Amino acid sequence: MSGRRRFFAAVNGSEAVIDGDEFVHAVTVQRVDTGSEICILDGSGKEYTAIVTGVGKRSLTAHVTGYAEGDREPRTPVYLLIGALKGDKTELVVQKACELGAEKIGVFASEYCSAYFNENKLERLKKVSREAAKQCMRSRAPEVEYFNTLKSALLSAEKYKNKLFACEFADASDVGLSSLGGATAIVVGSEGGFSEKEFALSKELGFSAVYLGRRILRAETAAIALTAIVANALGELK
Ligand code: SAH
C-alpha cells in the first residue's frame, strides 16, 4: 500500500468521506480525482484501500475495497513532553518526534517558558502530526495535547515505566539510556529551561534526571536527540 496517496478520514462500513484540510490536500496537492486509488487512515492503525467515487466542492467520497493493519507503528510507546517553544519550533519537534515513532506528544507551559500558546497553535500542531505521520508511512498520527502547568504534564506520564527528565543543570544521569526497556516518557524544557523547583517536582513525581553532556543544547535539539536515543535503545531504529 506504500505507493498510494494517504489521507486521514473516518471510515463508515465501506464508505469514507474526506473533508476539511485532508480534502484540500487530496484535491489541490495530490490531484486526487474520481477513480483514483487511495489509502485511508482512520487513526485506529488500519490502512484501507479505497477508490474515489465522487469529488464535490468541500468533500470527496471513496469506496473501501479492503484493509490491512499498518506495520510501521512503534512497538513500545514513547511519550514526548516538550515546553512550548517560540515561533514554529514546536512544530519542528512534533514533526521529528512523529517520524521517530512517538506515540504521543504533550506541550506544556512552565516557569521560564515565554512562548504564547492557544487553541489555533494546538490545531496547527495536530495537523503537523498528521502530515508527518502520512509522510513517514505511519498509520496513526501521534496525539498532541497541551498542559498549562508542568505538574499536569508530568502527571500525564504516570503510567510510563521509564520517566526521563532532561535537565541541563543535573550533575549526571540517574539512568543508563542504552539499557532502557518498556514504555518511556521524556520531558524536555523550553528555551528558558527548568527551575530548581521544577527539577525537584520531577523527582517527587518519580522522574529520573537525564544529563546530555556539558554543552547546553537548544530545546528542539535536546527533544529530537533524546527521542532518537530512546527510540534506538528500545530497538525502534532497526
Ligand atoms: N536556558 C537554559 C537552557 C535551556 S535548554 C540555560 O541557559 O541554561 C532547553 C532544554 O533542553 C532544557 O530545559 C533541557 O530539558 C534540555 N537540555 C539542553 N541541554 C541539556 C543538557 N546538556 N542536558 C540535559 N538536558 C538538556
CATH number of the domain at 191, please. 3.40.1280.10
Q: Cβ of 106: how many Cβ atoms within 10 Å? A: 20
128 with 186, same domain: the answer is yes
Rounded to the nearest angstrom, the distance between the alpha carbon of 194 and the centre of ligand 1 is: 8
State whether residue 224 is helix, strand or coil.
Answer: helix
Whether the CB of 217 sits within 6 Å of ligand 1: yes
Domain-ending residue, one of 15, 40, 69: 69
Whether the CB of 193 sits within 6 Å of ligand 1: yes
Rounded to the nearest angstrom, the distance between the alpha carbon of 85 and the centre of ligand 1 is: 13
Sole residue written with cell 535503545: 233
Tens of pLDDT, residue by residue over 64-76, are 999 999 999 999 9
Q: How many domains does the chain fold into? A: 2
Domain-ending residue, one of 18, 37, 69: 69
Whether the CB of 186 sits within 6 Å of ligand 1: no
Low-confidence ranges of the chain (pLDDT < 70): 1-2
Domain-ending residue, one of 21, 37, 69: 69
Whether the CB of 168 sits within 6 Å of ligand 1: yes
> What is the reported pTM?
0.95
Contacts of 111 (CB under 8 A, 6+ apart): 150, 192, 194, 195, 197, 198
Q: How far apart are CA 74 and CA 76, in angstroms?
A: 6
Whether the CB of 188 sits within 6 Å of ligand 1: yes
pLDDT of residue 2: 53
Per residue in 174-190, is it b (16+ CB within 10 Å) or e — as a string?
eeebeebeebbbbbbbb
Residue 186 in any domain: the answer is: yes
